[in-house]
Structure 1
């Protein structure tokens, strides 16, 4: 029988602590439906959260998994990454089952959202933890009377011990937009090495991502391997600000870029179009295949 999860607080904001029977754990805020922590069963923290991030009503949080909706970045008339990540979401359900913990939050249009985006919608974020896996499902339904389009992403900040030890595979053969240069190119090698020459400022949108990606971190012991899968999201964003841009971010320490890599499930190249009554669902799952990092 499922056991309800009570609301608690995290950094002064309302939160849910999901704790599965096997010890898998996550912390989800009602503010922005923002996931700020994920620890697999028997493992260590897998998400990066900036120690300088603000935790305040109406402000975006740096790190974890922000929900970008209904606009990605500045690719439209809305503020960067849309309004969903700074609005309060409603609790639909939160419970511990026989082998997992699951929470569902909902965001609907209101007078404030219609002033900047005049559409009726209902968005839901579902977060499930069990064993070595985190599942994030974002759904959107058009509840209005006219069609609309949106772009979106689950802006996952993945924690790494040292960027120089990390690589990302599964991108070979894909075309991508380099958001720094504005050029579209083709990924030729199987490994992307953030921080290596020419990649100090890494901001790419990869198109038509169908295969799993694998984040590998080769430290002194056994490599850490994190598998990243997505469904419903056609694109993936890979981002690391590098030293220069990171130093300009007020909510991030100057060396923070060395300990994170964003690998985001996204729908950007072809915006999602929904007629009245239609809905869309996108999923990102993270699975730890090898021991977690230390330090």
Structure 2
């Protein structure tokens, strides 16, 4: 047949290979044939496919994969800031650094170690980083592909400095959708949000769900830990579960903004939606020796699954 045995024997597997820039990437597989790809450039998940080989994350066809530019798509990590303020680059520097495989990760809980494929990565600040953000930290990232195909990201940030520091954070998650005008987000009704299109003015969500007919760039505050993104055309629902991340960013650039972005196709806004678990409005503050943990779990359910089951 010409196929290696590994393709047919769907044991959980973790492989490290090089991408076309020569940067290490980790491929996680589960027994059913689902797959996740994690680049050591930025600790960024660049692909998440279900057992049928369908890509669940969006990546722009014009994305620039070459460091020091973060890729437009997948799940970039925004740390130690989200957005653009002060001397730091937009969304912070973590997504533009080369991470290393962590040789001393925290142990997996016993009930989580069976049948899961995972990788542990580590980022520490360089001399250059300390000049623009003078705080010593250890950022540990675990990416897990579960037996049922769920994707989990667990971030741990530890203060190894002699003084407290504060930071913002987001899992900038680009979901692949069939048609943005057919998508609705449930779980954010009645919440206050900061509108980045109106100088971060504060509004209250009035709709019974969020739907899209123009550019949206909002930070929803004090959000529930379960959010649903319903894609009517594909008859599937993304379920986003989070811990340690009180805010949710919802972003779609729409037509005009898409045309102004060099690494984004003019019409690609129709096929993507960012829904990010985040901590933005109130920064996280760590004293020396303290550690913060932020978890994100992504799963996909058939469309018959509705938000009433989510305890929103």
Same fold (TM over 0.5): yes
Partner of 1:27: 37
> Separation in 2 of the partners of 1:10 and 1:167?
35
> Separation in 2 of the partners of 1:67 and 1:211?
19
In the alignment, is residue 234 of structure 1 matched against residue 246 of structure 2?
yes
Deviations along 1:78-103, one digit per CA (max 9) or x if unpaired, are 110010000000112699x6422101
Partner of 2:7: none
Partner of 1:170: 187
Instruction: Rate the CA distance shift 1:201–1:263 in 2: closer, same or farther, 3 A.
Output: same
Q: Which runs of 5+ in 1 are unaligned?
A: none
Asked if 2 retains the 8 angstrom alpha-carbon contact of 1:202 and 1:238, the reply is: yes
> Separation in 2 of the partners of 1:115 and 1:75?
16
Q: Secondary structure at the match of 2:274?
A: strand
In the alignment, is residue 201 of structure 1 matched against residue 210 of structure 2?
no
Asked if 2 retains the 8 angstrom alpha-carbon contact of 1:212 and 1:227, the reply is: yes
TM-score, with normalisation over the residues of structure 2?
0.87
In the alignment, is residue 276 of structure 1 matched against residue 276 of structure 2?
no
| Structure 1 residue 223 displacement after superposition | 1.6
TM-score, with normalisation over the residues of structure 1?
0.91
| Structure 1 residue 43 displacement after superposition | 5.6
> Separation in 1 of the partners of 2:219 and 2:204?
11
> Separation in 1 of the partners of 2:153 and 2:237?
19
In the alignment, is residue 146 of structure 1 matched against residue 155 of structure 2?
no
| Structure 1 residue 283 displacement after superposition | 0.7
Partner of 1:102: 118
| Structure 1 residue 252 displacement after superposition | 0.7
Q: Secondary structure at the match of 1:88?
A: coil
> Separation in 1 of the partners of 2:163 and 2:85?
22
Partner of 2:203: 185
> Separation in 1 of the partners of 2:189 and 2:296?
20
Partner of 1:8: 17
Q: Pick from 253, 262, 282: which aligns with 2:265?
A: 253
RMSD (Å), alpha carbons: 2.0
Q: Which has the higher contact order (CA 8 A, sep 6+)?
A: 1
| Structure 1 residue 75 displacement after superposition | 3.6
Deviations along 1:51-72, one digit per CA (max 9) or x if unpaired, are 1111112111100000000011
> Separation in 2 of the partners of 1:101 and 1:4?
6
Higher helix share: 2
> Separation in 2 of the partners of 1:113 and 1:163?
37
Q: Pick from 59, 79, 85: which aligns with 2:95?
A: 85
> Separation in 1 of the partners of 2:97 and 2:158?
18
Q: Matches of residues 65-80 of structure 1 in structure 2 within 5 Å?
A: 65-80=75-90
Higher strand share: 1
Q: Matches of residues 32-51 of structure 1 in structure 2 within 5 Å?
A: 32-42=42-52, 44-51=54-61
> Separation in 1 of the partners of 2:188 and 2:53?
27
Asked if 1 retains the 8 angstrom alpha-carbon contact of 2:187 and 2:224, the reply is: no
Q: Secondary structure at the match of 2:55?
A: coil
Partner of 2:227: 213
| Structure 1 residue 77 displacement after superposition | 3.1
> Separation in 2 of the partners of 1:10 and 1:98?
29
Asked if 2 retains the 8 angstrom alpha-carbon contact of 1:55 and 1:61, the reply is: yes
